[in-house]
Amino acid sequence: MDTIVLFIGIILVAAILQTSTGFGFSIMATPFLLLIFEPREAIQINLVLSLVISFALISKIRKDIDLGILKRFVIGSAAGLPVGISLFLLLDMTLLKLSISVIILVLTVLLMLKFRVKKTNNRDFTIGGLSGMLTTSIGMPGPPILLYFSGTDTKKETLRATTLGFYLFIYAMSLIVQVIFAGTNKIVWTSSGLALPILLIGMFVGQKLFKRINQKTFRIFTYIILLFTGVYLFYESWKW
């Protein structure tokens, strides 16, 4: 019973966060799903549910998508996907998580100190590649994009729409790569199916919250999510 309640809570909170900000489902859900499931199962459940959210929301917000950046993210991610699955299958995940956590924490602190970057085509490609790599390795495409958009002061509407548009591609491709190279099982698909009603409730609440969040509050949410991700990954790396 405790496991079921925890699962429902994880999906509900993560869905609200994803819908209200355009990011956060993977960042919030994956760490806690790892408390219940094996790594492969947790990552694949996250990919399935994130894909459902992206499909459900994209038609309502597609007018806010920056198509140029989206296209460059997609092209860049094509190079990152095979790198990520190789890391997942071959490397020590503890070392990978530790490295990513340090990078996220350092960059988040820089953002909080008002460090800003300028958008360029090459940087768009690079961020797409890093996001693709993280999706197939640890199931978290969000941190590179979130850091990049925050550092360039992107409007919250553009951030949410462009990120969700990119997620449609990256989650679908990553799920295919994961299933082919890491395999899958019944638990992944049964758990994903059971989570759908909770996901819909979270999406409804998240849509209502988005209309009430101003740009300043949105940025604070961003920093909190990034700090949480960095601290969690750091803790996971060292607790063993």
Judged against a pLDDT cut of 80, whether residue 63 lies above it is answered with yes
pTM of the model as a whole: 0.76
Q: What is the mean pLDDT of residues 124-142?
A: 85
Domain boundaries, the chain: 2-238
The whole-number pLDDT of residue 153 equals 78
The DSSP code sequence of the chain is -HHHHHHHHHHHHHHHHHHHHS--HHHHHHHHHTTTS-HHHHHHHHHHHHHHHHHHHHHHHGGG--HHHHHHHHHHHHHHHHHHHHHHHHS-HHHHHHHHHHHHHHHHHHHHTT------HHHHHHHHHHHHHHHHHHS--HHHHHHHHHHTT--HHHHHHHHHHHHHHHHHHHHHHHHHHH---HHHHHHHHHHHHHHHHHHHHHHHHHTT--HHHHHHHHHHHHHHHHHHHHHHHH--
pLDDT in tens, 86-104: 888 887 767 777 777 887 7
> Mean pLDDT across the chain, nearest whole number?
83
Instruction: Check residue 26 and give its pLDDT.
Output: 76
191-203 pLDDT, tens per residue? 999 999 999 999 9
pLDDT of 125 > 90? The answer is yes
Mean pLDDT of 198-221: 83
- Highest mean pLDDT pick, 46-50, 135-139, 149-153: 46-50
Q: Choose between 36 and 233: higher pLDDT.
A: 36
Residue 142 has pLDDT above 90, yes or no: no
